[in-house]
Amino acid sequence: MRDALDTKANPFWREAKRQLFLALRDGKPVGRIAAIENRAHNAFHNDKVGFFGFFECKEDQEAADALFSAAERWLADRGLDTMRGPTNPSTNHECGLLVRGFRWHPMIMTTWNPRYYGTLVESSGFTKAKDLLAYFFPMQGDRAFEMPERNRVLAERAMQGHTLIFRDLNLKEFDKEVERCWEIYNEAWEKNWGFFPMSHDSFLHEAKVLKYIVWPQFTFMAEVDGKPAGFMIIVPDFHHAFKAIGNGRLLPTGIFKLLAAKSRIKSGRIMILGAKPEYRSRGIFALFAHEMFRRGKDFNGVGAEASWILEDNDRLTRPLESMGAKEYRRWRIYDRVICHPEGAKRPKDRSAVQSDSSLRSE
């Protein structure tokens, strides 16, 4: 979280600005929000969308209204016409408000929130912009998912005439592998809603974080005729390990509990699965799924979550559902029109909202 907000160290902020706000009641914090201007997003989409993120609030509608109003005023001053979120800080990071699937604990690097957050947001005048979906693939027990053989056969038939191999990413050649993945990433997601290209520095920054938490055997690339075609990254669900630390503190003993629990993690999150556009119609996603399950069984894995996927991304949702996968979690991104000074005024907020003065210099 500190890294995501660090305007000096995180390359994302070279093309973005943000202001942090706290809502105070009787001098005690009851909520927080970040107002974000993402210039890279607006340049790519040729629009004037501002964002909010890092939203947390007690069950206090007045405080939530005050936070959204403070963020709106900051965005309005920059000539933006829509407030969208939550994004923490962008769609290339954690984003969306959980609206379905509360019974399961959150996978690593996804958002979780109490149920009442949806009421706070919608009562403040926000409406749905887009939903993000998650699918879960159990690999053990009576409900274990089985990859239909016909999907693999059809996919292999579509790839006839081409040589496809899956290989582990070589972390010893980290920079070269990052270059290949960066190229695929920006091509694979180019036409997705909310996407904007990640700069090379931003992609490298995020890759360096993932390098230390990924499973090497679940970080692999597809090559077609010797050329990079797609890649998949599955990250261990460290939240299982975090639960071993009752008080949340790494020191003095928490770090040892975390390391001990890490070796027992057998579930994860399919965080990235992308392929270059020319290979999507050839069933490459089904072949990725087949390869993932083959490796997962060898690993004695418990299961994996695939997230997040745009609700209207038929190229992914249809193959997944044809294989028997079912949606089990859903997040929502909201929009609200920004009221400028000449427009209608919103109700006066009575909760105190203050900007983080230590970060005001930006």
Tens of pLDDT, residue by residue over 282-296, are: 778 888 888 998 899
> How far is the C-alpha of 162 from the C-alpha of 164, rounded, in Å?
6
Q: Minimum mean pLDDT among 121-125, 334-338, 343-347, 350-354: which range?
A: 343-347
Say if residue 348's pLDDT is above 50. no
Instruction: Give the predicted TM-score (pTM) of the model.
Output: 0.89
**Per-residue pLDDT tens for 144-194?**
777 777 777 877 787 788 888 999 999 889 999 999 999 999 988 878 899
**Residues 30 and 145 placed together within one structural domain of the fold:** no
Domain shared by 323 and 349, yes or no = no
Based on the fold, state whether residues 152 and 225 are members of the same structural domain.
yes
| Residues 338, 326 share a domain | no
For the stretch 96-112, pLDDT in tens is 999 999 998 889 999 99
Domain co-membership, 158 together with 293: yes
Q: Are residues 281 and 203 in the same domain?
A: yes
Q: Residue 299: which pLDDT band, with cuts at 50, 70 and 90? A: very high
Please report where in the chains the tokens 């700069």 appear, as a residue: 199
* Residue 308, preceding peptide bond in cis (omega within 30° of 0): yes
Kindly tell me if the per-residue pLDDT of 325 is higher than 90.
Answer: no
Domain identity same for 327 and 338: no
Specify the CATH number for the domain of residue 105.
3.40.630
The pLDDT, as a whole number, for residue 355 is 62
Q: Are residues 103 and 169 in the same domain?
A: no
The domain total for the chain is 2
φ/ψ of residue 113, rounded to 5: -155, 155
Range of the domain at 228: 137-331
Residues 289 and 352 in one domain: no
- 150: domain CATH number is 3.40.630.30
At 26-77, the pLDDT tens digits run 999 999 999 999 999 999 999 999 999 999 999 999 999 999 999 999 999 9
User: Is 112 in the same domain as 182?
Assistant: no
Cβ proximity of 63 and 351 under 8 Å:
yes
pLDDT for res 347 = 42
Query: Once rounded to an integer, what is the mean pLDDT over residues 123-143?
Result: 93
Q: Maximum Cα–Cα distance for the chain, whole Å?
A: 71
> Which pLDDT score is estimated for 352?
63
* Confidence at residue 342, expressed as pLDDT on a 0 to 100 scale: 60
* Predicted local confidence at residue 85, as pLDDT: 97
Whether 83 and 200 share a structural domain: no
How far apart are alpha carbons 106 and 98 in whole angstroms?
10
59 and 152, same domain (yes or no): no
Provide the mean pLDDT of the chain. Answer: 89
* Alpha carbon distance 280, 191 (integer Å): 13
